[in-house]
Structure formats: C-alpha cells, structure tokens
Amino acid sequence: MSEPRKILVTSALPYANGPIHLGHMLEHIQTDIWVRFQNSMGNMCTYVCADDTHGTAVMLRAEKEGKTPEDHIKAMQEEHVRDFRGFLIDHHNYYSTHSEENRYFAELIYTRLKTNGHISTRTIRQLFDPEKEIFLADRFVKGTCPKCGSEDQYGDACEVCSATYEPNELVNPKSVYTGATPVEKESEHYFFTLPEFQGMLREWTRSGTLQDSVANKLAEWLDAELQEWDVSRDAPYFGFEIPDAPGKYFYVWLDAPIGYMASFKNLCDRRDDLEFDEYWKKDSKAELYHFIGKDIINFHALFWPAMLDSADFRKPDGVFAHGYITVNGEKMSKSRGTFIMAKTYLEHLNPEYLRYYYAAKLGAGVEDIDLSLTDFAQRVNSDLVGKVINIASRCAGFIKKGGGSLSDNVAEPEMLAAFQQAGIDIAGAYERREFSKAIREIMALADRANEYIQSKAPWVMSKEEGREQEVQDVCSMGIHLFRLIAIYLGPVLPAMSDKVKAFLNVDSLNFTDRETVLTGHAINKFKPLLTRIEMTQIDDLIEASKEDAAAEAKPGPKAAEKKKAESKQDKPEEGSQEIEFGDFAKVDLRVARVIEADHVEGADKLLKLKLDVGNGETRQVFSGIKSHYQPEDLTGKNVVLVYNLKPRKMRFGVSEGMVLAAGGGDELWVMEADSAVKPGTKIS
C-alpha cells in the first residue's frame, strides 16, 4: 500500500449571524463524507471549520439583541456546533475567526502583502449615515433606481431592471439603518493589488484545481481586467484593526479564509501528530482542499490564492464548489415551510436520511440539488430499509438459529470477489466526489445480494432435513455481502456503521477492511438499524418550519453586507405577518373601470390598462397579466386598484397604481368589482 496521503479539508465558514439550515448542511455533509472516505481508505485527512464572525452584519445584530458582539458570536457558535454534531459532521476542529490565531495570521499575511508592495491606498468617497456615524455599504443604502426609476432599490443594483450602479447614483438615497439621507464622505482605503496576480491566477485556475465550469466562469474576469480589492473598512466595525492604521479594520472577507489556517493552527497546538508548517508552507507536500458554495467562488479562487501566493504560503490543490439546495423544485421558502433549519430537521428526522439523500444526488459539479420531499422519503425507505438493511435482516435469523456464527465456507467466492472488486470503482467515485455514482453502484450491489438470497431461498431449505449447512452457507454469504455494502456506505452513514459493527462484532468497517472475510466469525443479535420515514414526519417538519418562520420577528433592516455568503437562500420571504389596522388603512383601494387595454410592445408579461378612476380622472397602469388575459377580456370591467401606490417608472412608461389579482403562477384572476359600483368608489 502506498504512503498515506496527508490531506487538510475545509468547509466554508458559516456566518455567525443566523442558524444553520439545510443549505449549509449540503456542504458540510458533502465534505464530511469525503473526509470520512479518505480516512476509511487509510489516509490522514483532517477537517477543520470555524464560524465567520466579523463584519457589520454581526455587529448590528448583536447591537439589536443588546449584546456585545463577543457574546453574540459565542452563542451562535454553540448553536452551530450543536447542529453540526447532530448531523454527525466530524469537524476535527470547529473554531472562530475571532481568535488570537486568526488575528496573528491576518496580521502576518497583511504585513507580508504590504512588504511585497501588494497593498495600495487611496481615498474613496462613500456614503455615510450622519446620524449613526457609519459608512454605508452598497446594500445598506436604498433609493430610486437611476436607470428605470424603480423605488426602494439597493445601492448596488436594481432588482427590477438589473442595472448596476454606484450607491451615490441612487435618486433620493436613504440609509437603511436610520432612514437618514446619507452624505458623501471621504476615507482612505487599503487595496490588495489583485491585477498583479493575473498571470498566476490564469495558470492556477486552469491547473486542475477547479471544476471546468468554474474555471470557465472565472475566465470572464481573468480575460478582462482584474480590479484591486478593497480590504479595509472604517470603524465602527467588528473585526481586527489593521496594524499601523488606527480606525481601519480588515474587511471580513480578508480574514474569513484565513480562519481555515487559524482553526488548523489551533488544532495543531493540541495534537502531536499535526504540524502547521507541513501543511501550509510554500512547498508543502500535503494536500489542501476547500469545499464551498458556488456563490463564494471569487473569494476562494481569486483573492485567496493570490493572498497566499504573495504571503509565501502554499495554495489550495482544489476548490470544490457545489450548487444550492432547492426544496420540491423551488427555492427554500419560509412561507411554504421549506426553509428548514438544521435544528428543526433534527427534531423530526434522523440525520442519516438526509446524509443519504444528499449523497445519492451529489455529483462533482455545481448544479443545484433538489430535495424533493416525497422522493426523499421513498428513496430512503426503499434503498436503505428495503434493500440494504433487509439483506442483514433476512439472513440474521437463520444464522442465529444455526448457532450465531458465520459459516466456515464461502458459498460464492466469485460473487464475493466481485463485491470486493466493486470497491475500487466506488472508491474512485467517492474520490472524485461523484457520490451519486457511488451510491448507484452500491445499490446495484444490494440488488444483486437480494437476488442471490431470493434465488437460493434458504427459508425453503430450512424446512428440509439435512440442508442445515447449506442454509448457513447462503445466509453467511448474505452477511458477507451486507458487510461489504455497509463498508461502502460507511462514509455516508457513520451512525449506522457503528450499529453494524456491533451487529457483526467487529471493530472497524473501513474500506481497507474489505479484503477480509468473516468466515467462522460469531455475530450478535440483529437489531433494527434504521426505521422508515413516515410522510407524517415530513408534514410535521414542514409545519414546524412554518412556525419557525413566523416566530422569527423580522423588524428592522436585513443586515446584508455578507450577502455573498448568505445569499438568496437566507432572504426572508414574507409569510403572513400580522399587521396593525393602521397599516391596512394606509392602502387606498378603489374601484376602477378598464377603459382600454393593450399589449405592450416588447413586454412578455405586461398589459397596459387605461382606467377610469372616477371624477373624470384616468390612470395608466401596467399589469403583469398578459399570460392569462387578452386585452379585450378586460375592457369595461370593474377592477380593484391600489389608488395611492407610488407611481413607478417602467421601461414602457409610468405605472400609476396596481390592479389586484388572485393567484399567480398557473392560475391568475383579476379581482373584479360588481359592475354596478361606480369607478372611484373607495373600498374598505
């Protein structure tokens, strides 16, 4: 056997601003399976992670909760650790970016960058909240889009027309903290001179470190011009102050990946068999891999290797991006109850179900993974309970009757050899992170094992005199096959693996054990290894998730500086929050009569309506109902208009109000008022 590989693996650091949900779990389950597989193969694979604790969002969250940031991140970390443990994620260390080790490495790396001339400074003008005395990141300013006139848009891009711009270009900008009108203020910022690494990055991104599609994607930037990266933020900021730069702090994304080093260093200090330099020095022979979500590729495949390069550390051998989780084919949604927290899941279902299902669907690519809940239940039940566990379950009784020990004979040596041989392909699939392929092959083995037992029908033989040994041989063979399948599933199902060890009376079920055969070996009584999923459990989980979402009061601005890390999946979707009567009373609803309705040139979804709103006044309203209504269907109808909605400039003209409709998606009905009602009548 070749020399064991020394491998260091990380999952992206969860942000200390919210709970772990099933999206996070995809990444940690993927990483954990890979790490367990490596160790099962006899390699020395270390897995570290940490909470990402810095930044404005954490600072404000703590402030809102009336805590210090330190107290807040400590509580968060405890929660995160508990959730990961619940899902059997075996981080060898789970640390924090708010640690002395991380401060040390952040300062060290920064100092080296600076010494190498890779830090430049220049003064930038930025919006500033004069009430709260804080600089405003793009997402903390809202106003009217300068391109299309849409209201209430973030400072970096318009969600309506997709224009991108600078926050100071917004019309009528407001701070999301205080509502104050921001002022422009100058500040000196520190920049990392990324363009100097263009050549290195071009080569590095194409050297097998990244998935092809990711490398293609990055080529967009690398073939164009890279920009310098702003790595400083002004006080007040929760983070590390930049050496020799009072009032300036490292941007959270500078010290976040350094957290991988800090966590590993912290572990090395407690372990005799791990040495930091062996893994991080420039010419390290150890392997380093980062598992991340596809949303944070830039940070890990551009900024991070460039920083490491300048600071004279080794670069990663691989950055592996995965896609997002959808539930029942759609984005996780709070109101639908599919925004599922790790904690809530664990209160209803066994973590290994999810580990198995994710594994069964994960490939090496960046495609999104759909958690289809009915498929989930069916697949887990039929694969794990119906096929795999059934093999042991149907053989164990006969073995017990025969004395409790496996036969000295191997009934089907060729079949056994084929099962052992299959381990090579399966290992290859795990290694390449093609877990779904590994699972397919394992399930094919389980099918073959069941076919074998079926064809031999030991229950028939057991009724015939003198065939006792044959029964033992066949059922022992079944157990041998089961054991191999359990070995192959071990990285995915560690808790079940432990139960199988107890059943088979063995100490280990590693890939390296697959050549041995338990002939003549005494085994223990079979106990159920896993129970089936009931659909009611899933229904309960969805219900509980809806309650979670409702309980989570969401006043105040959504802290969003870490939007890249938290991204869409964390975006609150309004459920049905209670409102005061006063809130409702603000909406002026009136009956309006459609005078004209027309198609809009160039618009896929819109119809242009001319409405009589009483007192001789008419309004022009654009309504996204083209897919369900023809203009002639609407003319002459009385509809419900939001009379006091702010006019909104759209590409095709100004829309002065909004027509109410029920439904959405496949079904949509415009709300109509009785034809007897006069246009302009108020609705209350």
Which residues are part of a known binding site for Zn(2+)? 145, 148, 158, 161
Q: Among residue numbers 641 through 680, which ones bind RNA (CB under 7 A)?
A: none
Closest distance between RNA and the C-beta of residue 189, in Å?
A: 13
Binding residue (CB under 7 A) for RNA from 63, 90, 107, 368? 368
> In sequence order, what are the residues at sequence separation of 6 or more whose Cβ sits closer than 8 angstroms to the Cβ of residue 148?
158, 160, 161, 163, 649, 650, 651
Q: Among residue numbers 94 through 123, which ones bind RNA (CB under 7 A)?
A: none
Binding residue (CB under 7 A) for RNA from 243, 386, 557, 575? 386
Q: Which of residues 220 and 244 has its CB atom nearest to RNA in the complex? A: 220
Q: Among residue numbers 318 through 337, which ones bind RNA (CB under 7 A)?
A: 324, 329, 331
**Using CB under 7 A as the criterion, what x/- string covers residues 604-633 for binding RNA?**
x-----------------------------
Consecutive H or E run containing 163: none
Q: Which of residues 368 and 513 has its CB atom nearest to RNA in the complex? A: 368
Q: Which parts of 193-278 are beta strand (E)? A: 229-230, 232-234, 248-250
Closest distance between RNA and the C-beta of residue 552, in Å?
A: 21
Do residues 614 and 673 touch, judged by C-beta distance below 8 A? Answer: no
Tokens of 547: 């309650």
DSSP letters of 147-159?
Answer: TT--SSEESSB-T
Do residues 489 and 443 touch, judged by C-beta distance below 8 A? Answer: no
Name the CA radius of gyration of the chain, rounded.
30
Closest distance between RNA and the C-beta of residue 672, in Å?
A: 27
Backbone region of residue 673 per phi and psi (left: phi > 0; alpha: psi in -120 to 50; beta: other values): beta
**Using CB under 7 A as the criterion, what x/- string covers residues 205-224 for binding RNA?**
-------xx--xx--xx--x
Q: Among residue numbers 223 through 252, which ones bind RNA (CB under 7 A)?
A: 224-227, 229
Residue 530 is a binding residue for RNA (CB under 7 A)? yes
Closest distance between RNA and the C-beta of residue 481, in Å?
A: 12
Q: Which of residues 110 and 435 has its CB atom nearest to RNA in the complex? A: 435
Q: Which of residues 383 and 548 has its CB atom nearest to RNA in the complex? A: 383
Rounded Cα distance, 390 and 282, in Å: 51
Return binding residues.
145, 148, 158, 161, 334
Rounded Cα distance, 144 and 173, in Å: 7
Binding residue (CB under 7 A) for RNA from 181, 372, 405, 537? 372
Q: Among residue numbers 536 through 595, which ones bind RNA (CB under 7 A)?
A: 564, 567-568
Q: Among residue numbers 254 through 273, which ones bind RNA (CB under 7 A)?
A: none
Q: Among residue numbers 125 through 164, which ones bind RNA (CB under 7 A)?
A: 156-157, 162, 164
Consecutive H or E run containing 535: helix 535-551
Q: Which of residues 421 and 644 has its CB atom nearest to RNA in the complex? A: 421
**Helices assigned H by DSSP within 523-664:** 535-551, 563-566, 581-585, 631-634
Tokens of 464: 């015939």
Return binding residues for ATP.
334
Do residues 179 and 291 touch, judged by C-beta distance below 8 A? Answer: no
Count residues binding RNA (CB under 7 A): 72
Residue 453 is a binding residue for RNA (CB under 7 A)? yes
Closest distance between RNA and the C-beta of residue 137, in Å?
A: 10
Binding residue (CB under 7 A) for RNA from 72, 91, 348, 379? 379
Closest distance between RNA and the C-beta of residue 458, in Å?
A: 7
Do residues 53 and 99 touch, judged by C-beta distance below 8 A? Answer: no
Rounded Cα distance, 271 and 284, in Å: 19
CA 250 to chain centre: 25
Binding residue (CB under 7 A) for RNA from 6, 174, 248, 394? 394
Rounded Cα distance, 525 and 611, in Å: 78
Binding residue (CB under 7 A) for RNA from 385, 603, 658, 677? 385
Is residue 236 reached through a cis peptide bond, with omega within 30 degrees of 0 on the bond before it?
A: yes
Stretch that binds RNA, among 35-43, 77-85, 182-190, 360-368 (CB under 7 A): 360-368
CA distances in angstroms from 568 to 215, 248, 541, 573, 596, listed in the order given:
23, 29, 22, 10, 39
Closest distance between RNA and the C-beta of residue 517, in Å?
A: 21
Residue showing tokens 């009569």? 593
Closest distance between RNA and the C-beta of residue 17, in Å?
A: 17
Count Cα atoms within 13 angstroms, Cβ side, for 497: 23
- Cβ-in-10-Å burial (0-12, 13-18, 19+) of 145 comes to buried
Q: Among residue numbers 293 through 322, which ones bind RNA (CB under 7 A)?
A: 294-295, 298, 302
